[in-house]
Amino acid sequence: MNKLKGSDPILYSIVKEEFNRQKTYIEMIAAESYVPIEIMELQGSVFTNKTTEGYPGNRYHGGCYAADKMETLGIERAKKLFKAEHANIQPHSGSQANQAVYAAVLEPNDTVLGLRLDQGGHLTHGNRANFSGRIYRFISYGLSRERELIDYEELEKLALKHRPRMIVTGGSAYPRIIDFKRISDIAKEVGGYFMVDMAHVAGLVAAGIYPNPVEYADFVTSTTTKTLCGARGGFILCRREYAKAIDKGVFPGTQGSAHLHIMAAKAYTFKRAGTEEFKNLMIQVVKNAQKLGEVLKEYGFRLVSEGTDSHLLLVDLRPKGITGKALEEALDYVGITVNKNMVPFDTEKPTVTSGIRIGTTAVTIRGAMEEDMEEIGDIIKEVSENIGNKGKLDSIRERVINLSNRLPLYNGDYDIV
């Protein structure tokens, strides 16, 4: 960043500060990863200079020869990776991918079923503070109290009662495999569309270690971040019959010009996610999450749904008598980054919560294995027992620095100078 360093040293120093944070902290936010350097190269490439609307071969601006090749390559790679009939890789984010699907096939006030945000869903699945809950008549389904899995029976009852135009599933804090076939059958029974937001698990799907929702859903939305470990953006997969509607839902329905530099990075993301190396990474991500879950259980933490099939754990802190906010802050102090998270049937406010969400994608990219999960689990336990004890937390910070030194970011091959 030599140019930036000279022209804007303040901003340069802030970027450096973030890089230093990433190097010396253990990143365990389930939505995060460390992208390959190629992704940063592409996101910073000359495609950022190009403005265009429309789709390959049908643009509203000239000069799209290379842009058309690039977007077509990305579309074909996404289709191949997920065995989809159609892909749109223009959505700027996962939220915008969801917005575009709704815009494509729903009318305002249409009835839609979505998983509650406070039981693992996502803002764009009907939360009242979000456009989705304001424009459409979302009705929430949730988890069963006993097993903390989606209550498919309740979902079916709600579907039969409300005859929704669409059922949405997927989430940001649901550790277990979702039964896509069962929800697809319910959607068919009531004549509604079925949409899966697979943003959190897309990398696991690509690796073949999580069911592929493309087999069951009319529409699948996702980000290319999170477990796909790539560009910061979204995409949509659908059957051929919906291709035109979806493309119109993205442009001109909800977006203007495409972010070509990000699409180029998405095209690389899809290629990499089809490799054996990526598959092995995803296998280790899940092994690490499961191992960390076992360690935390041994230390008396309660895991929502008793464990995980994926990259994330949802830890209920009520048996420990601490809040998600308190543990998030104390872990941040020692250098482990997680987020506070509502647990099912939580009575705390979303700004406080009774839980934390922990993801293993980023730390596994740095080379962490099961034995490192023992160390991380032990650190989490020690921190939980010493909230407010600055001296003790300072000594734990040393352990985190040692761990991050053993797991160097980008193997030490990347620096900002």
Q: Which residues of this protein are in contact with ligand DSN, per CB under 6 A?
A: 31, 122, 172
**Smallest separation, CB 123 to ligand DSN (Å):** 7
Token pair recorded at residue 214: 């493309």
Residue number with CB closer to ligand DSN (172 or 310): 172
**Smallest separation, CB 138 to ligand DSN (Å):** 17
Residue number with CB closer to ligand DSN (226 or 291): 226
Token pair recorded at residue 194: 């079925």
Token pair recorded at residue 122: 């996502």
**Smallest separation, CB 169 to ligand DSN (Å):** 15
Q: Can you tell me the distance from the alpha carbon of 330 to that of 290, in angstroms, rounded to the nearest whole number?
A: 23
Residue number with CB closer to ligand DSN (31 or 202): 31
SS3 267: helix
**Smallest separation, CB 247 to ligand DSN (Å):** 24
Name residue 196's beta-bridge partners: 169, 220
SS3 148: coil
Residue number with CB closer to ligand DSN (127 or 364): 127
Residue number with CB closer to ligand DSN (31 or 330): 31
Token pair recorded at residue 132: 């989705």
**Smallest separation, CB 270 to ligand DSN (Å):** 19
Q: Can you tell me the distance from the alpha carbon of 215 to that of 231, in angstroms, rounded to the nearest whole number?
A: 24
Residue number with CB closer to ligand DSN (88 or 95): 95
Cα-based angle 386, 392, 398 (whole degrees, multiple of 5): 120
Residue number with CB closer to ligand DSN (232 or 381): 232
Q: Decide: 375 and 332 in contact? Cβ < 8 Å.
A: no
Q: Can you tell me the distance from the alpha carbon of 245 to that of 43, in angstroms, rounded to the nearest whole number?
A: 28
Output DSSP code: residue 92.
S
Token pair recorded at residue 27: 């990143």
**Smallest separation, CB 125 to ligand DSN (Å):** 10
**Smallest separation, CB 311 to ligand DSN (Å):** 11
Residue 151 has a CB neighbour count (10 Å cut-off) of 18
Residue tagged 């699945």 (tokens): 125
